[in-house]
């Protein structure tokens, strides 16, 4: 039985009353275009149209080369993702039980070279508040019955009842600073600890890959220990081409623990800087000898395409070409606001500007966030900010990479846009706002209060920081006093770039109780040990 107990209408029953008619293929322009083009030509023309490397053509039965995944779960749907090793038709079976005794089968797109043989199905019409099981099968589109072995996974849809509890995890910063998949450790086993908690979903808070992070076969630690890495061609240099960016996400899915987690836990993904290159912003031209392509805008476009191909993310319908920021409505208790503090970012400067200039959100995204927060009726409004609000994150000697610019005075630079947002929330009595972030490679809990702040026009709030999950440990960073943060909890290594062998890997857990509406945050280490916990009571509007 599912741990969710909310009822659902019979017309949405998973089996027996035509659910398949309510399930739609994801509106993914490249995948659908490839599918349509494939279907519109004859057999001879198809073989010509899909001239890929010979290894991809009719190399036996198609197989799921990098596992399966689900993402962006809602009350009536979720995205299912897969990748083939060759041209293949993707099909998804859905069931209430893990034995798949009764199934609804949903045909999906043809996976082609146009999307690096990845594909997605947007499953709609699912019952709310249910643990469901899905199975992905691939078949050669020209040879009926010639298919590979299926893979099965689990997903949980958002509840409809306010009395149904919600639980999810979050973290970020994966395979950074030269620390990759270590075969001596059996791989990235922190994902087994996360999976064992059986969360409803995982918020992947940015730096989902390190496209600028080169892996070598071995790394010698200061104490003489040897760290070994699984290596690939794409991880042997900084990513510049589309193929090299695609290889970043492919590398992470070489790990069996990551694949098992991705299959069983729906993912809500956002990006930050290392999906492209360190501390990037639009219009930047790199001064880095490792790159032959110096234009960040070119690199970002390639990285964005690979990100949307390889992550189980649902494109925003009004912006199908790559908008990352979006709201995930996860039942009456939770609205999750996923930010993109990278795509619309202004240049990294000293942060002393006093006139709003777009900051890290850009005017359009800030207007969207403000409007959606004011309209939200969920008990808790959780904002997934891929850059921390109050931590000073420098970029070189004088420039600022993050929001906080280190000055104890009035809001300046990027702080200006957040000061306006916080004031608006106070004025409109928007309560129960919590911020979750990663980026800085340690765990912390920050309590923000106008009583300690130089800018006081806001209600107190909390920001929780987690990560990394398999990268160097750093920190702690200095706190900027503008919004009055206090570091109530910090867990950071004593030296910079501590390897995962030294611990200091982290993930966070959020639980919202259906009976009381209480939100509890637990900060956990690589063994899932609880290092700190904080319970917040929901305030009345």
Q: How far apart are CA 18 and CA 22, in angstroms?
A: 8
Q: DSSP string spanning 307-348?
A: HHHHS--PPBTTBTTT---EEEE-STTEEEEE--SSTTPPP-
SS3 351: coil
Radius of gyration of the chain from its Cα atoms, rounded to whole angstroms:
23
Q: How far apart are CA 87 and CA 113, in angstroms?
A: 7
Give the pairing of strands 218-220 and 485-491.
unpaired
In tens, the pLDDT along 222-252 reads 999 999 999 999 999 999 999 999 999 999 9
Does residue 26 surpass a pLDDT of 80? no
CATH placement of domain 166-536: 3.60.21.70
Whether residue 466 contacts residue 528, with contact meaning beta carbons closer than 8 Å, is answered with: no
State the pLDDT at residue 299.
98
Residue 462 — very low, low, confident or very high, per pLDDT cuts 50/70/90? very high
Q: For residue 181, give both structure tokens.
A: 């998949």
CA proximity to 181, closest of 222, 226, 227, 220: 227
Q: For residue 214, give both structure tokens.
A: 């080169």
State the pLDDT at residue 234.
97
The share of the chain scoring above pLDDT 70, in percent, equals 89
Q: How far apart are CA 63 and CA 61, in angstroms?
A: 6
Does residue 52 surpass a pLDDT of 50? no
Q: What angle do CA 493, 220, 529 make, to 5 degrees?
A: 35
State the pLDDT at residue 71.
98
Q: Examine domains 10-155 and 166-536 and report if their fold is the same.
A: no
- For residue 356, CA distances in Å to 394, 411, 454 come to 20, 10, 18
CA proximity to 211, closest of 184, 161, 183, 247: 247
- CA 82 vs. chain centroid, Å, equals 16
The share of the chain scoring above pLDDT 90, in percent, equals 83
Q: How far apart are CA 3 and CA 518, in angstroms?
A: 18
Give the pairing of strands 380-384 and 334-338.
parallel
Does residue 18 surpass a pLDDT of 50? no
Does residue 4 surpass a pLDDT of 50? no
- Residue 309 main-chain phi, psi, to 5 deg: -70, -40
Q: For residue 347, give both structure tokens.
A: 């240049």
Residue 101 — very low, low, confident or very high, per pLDDT cuts 50/70/90? very high
Q: How far apart are CA 532 and CA 139, in angstroms?
A: 48
Q: How far apart are CA 30 and CA 310, in angstroms?
A: 13
Does residue 317 surpass a pLDDT of 90? no
The CATH homologous superfamily to which domain 10-155 belongs is Purple acid phosphatase-like, N-terminal (2.60.40.380)
- Mean pLDDT over 54-63 rounds to 64
Q: How far apart are CA 466 and CA 438, in angstroms?
A: 5
- Mean pLDDT over 402-409 rounds to 91
Does residue 33 surpass a pLDDT of 50? no
Residue 145 — very low, low, confident or very high, per pLDDT cuts 50/70/90? confident
Does residue 474 surpass a pLDDT of 60? yes
State the pLDDT at residue 15.
42
Q: How far apart are CA 472 and CA 175, in angstroms?
A: 8
Q: For residue 126, give both structure tokens.
A: 């699912």
Residue 9 — very low, low, confident or very high, per pLDDT cuts 50/70/90? very low
Q: For residue 401, give both structure tokens.
A: 């990479």
State the pLDDT at residue 353.
86
Q: For residue 266, give both structure tokens.
A: 């729906």
- CA 314 vs. chain centroid, Å, equals 12
List the chain domain ranges: 10-155, 166-536
In tens, the pLDDT along 322-333 reads 899 999 999 999
Sheet containing 485-491: order of strands: 326-329, 334-338, 380-384, 433-437, 461-465, 443-448, 485-491
Q: What angle do CA 453, 455, 460 make, to 5 degrees?
A: 60
Q: Which residues, including other chains, have CB under 8 Å from residue 34's CB and lie 6 or more apart?
A: 109, 110, 112, 114, 115
SS3 120: strand
Q: How far apart are CA 30 and CA 406, in angstroms?
A: 44
Whether residue 158 contacts residue 331, with contact meaning beta carbons closer than 8 Å, is answered with: yes
In tens, the pLDDT along 263-284 reads 999 999 999 999 999 999 999 9
Q: How far apart are CA 122 and CA 438, in angstroms?
A: 28
Does residue 59 surpass a pLDDT of 70? no
First to last CA, the chain: 35
Residue 357 — very low, low, confident or very high, per pLDDT cuts 50/70/90? confident
- Residue 215 main-chain phi, psi, to 5 deg: -110, 135
Q: Looking up tokens 């970029």, which residue turns up?
A: 395
- Mean pLDDT over 449-466 rounds to 97
Q: For residue 387, give both structure tokens.
A: 């850059």
- For residue 138, CA distances in Å to 25, 86, 188, 255 come to 16, 10, 27, 21
Residue 170 — very low, low, confident or very high, per pLDDT cuts 50/70/90? very high
State the pLDDT at residue 407.
87
CA proximity to 23, closest of 126, 138, 164: 126
């Amino acid at each position: 039985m599912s741990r969710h107990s909310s009822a659902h209408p019979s017309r949405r029953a998973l089996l027996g009353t035509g659910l398949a008619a309510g399930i739609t293929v994801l509106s993914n322009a490249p995948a659908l275009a490839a599918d349509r083009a494939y279907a519109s030509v004859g057999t001879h023309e198809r073989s010509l149209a899909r001239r890929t490397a010979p290894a991809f053509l009719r190399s036996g039965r198609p197989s799921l080369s990098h596992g399966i995944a689900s993402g962006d779960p809602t009350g009536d749907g979720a995205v299912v993702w897969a990748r083939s090793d060759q041209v293949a038709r993707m099909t998804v079976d859905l069931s209430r039980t893990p034995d798949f005794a009764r199934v609804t089968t949903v045909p999906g797109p043809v996976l082609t070279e146009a999307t690096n043989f990845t594909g997605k199905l947007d499953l709609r019409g699912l019952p709310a508040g249910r643990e469901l099981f899905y199975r992905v099968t691939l078949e050669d589109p020209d040879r009926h019955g010639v298919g590979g072995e299926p893979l099965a996974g689990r997903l949980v849809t958002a509840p409809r009842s306010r009395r149904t509890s919600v639980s999810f995890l979050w973290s970020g910063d994966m395979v950074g600073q030269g620390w990759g998949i270590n075969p001596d450790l059996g791989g990235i086993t922190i994902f087994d600890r996360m999976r064992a908690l059986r969360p409803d979903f995982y918020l992947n808070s940015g730096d989902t890959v390190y496209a600028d992070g080169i892996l070598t076969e071995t790394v010698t630690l200061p104490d003489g220990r040897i760290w070994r890495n699984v290596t690939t061609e794409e991880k042997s240099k900084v990513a510049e081409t589309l193929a090299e960016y695609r290889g970043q996400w492919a590398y992470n899915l070489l790990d069996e623990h990551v694949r098992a987690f991705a299959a069983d836990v729906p993912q809500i993904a956002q990006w930050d800087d290392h999906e492209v290159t360190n501390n990037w912003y639009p219009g930047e031209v790199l001064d880095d000898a490792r790159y032959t392509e110096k234009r960040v805008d070119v690199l970002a476009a390639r990285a964005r395409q690979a990100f949307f191909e390889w992550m189980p993310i649902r494109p925003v319908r009004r912006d199908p070409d790559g908008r990352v920021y979006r709201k995930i409505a996860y039942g009456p208790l939770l609205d999750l606001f996923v930010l993109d503090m990278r795509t619309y970012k202004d240049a990294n400067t000293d942060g002393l500007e006093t006139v709003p200039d777009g900051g890290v959100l850009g005017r359009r995204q800030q207007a969207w966030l403000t409007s959606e927060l004011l309209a939200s009726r969920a008990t808790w409004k959780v904002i997934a900010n891929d850059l921390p609000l109050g931590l000073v994150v420098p970029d070189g000697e004088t420039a600022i990479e993050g929001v906080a610019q280190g000055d104890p005075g009035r809001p300046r630079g990027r702080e200006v846009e957040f000061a306006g947002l916080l004031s608006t929330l106070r004025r409109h009595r928007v309560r129960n706002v919590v911020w979750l972030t990663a980026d800085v490679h340690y765990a912390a809990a920050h309590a923000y209060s106008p009583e300690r702040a130089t800018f006081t026009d806001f209600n107190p709030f909390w920001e929780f920081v987690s990560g990394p999950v398999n990268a160097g440990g750093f920190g702690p960073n200095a706190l900027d006093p503008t919004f009055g943060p206090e570091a109530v909890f910090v867990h950071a290594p004593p030296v910079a770039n501590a390897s995962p062998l030294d611990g200091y890997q982290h993930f966070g857990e959020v639980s919202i109780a259906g009976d009381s509406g209480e939100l509890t945050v637990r900060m956990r280490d690589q063994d899932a040990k609880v290092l700190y916990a904080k319970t917040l009571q929901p305030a009345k509007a």
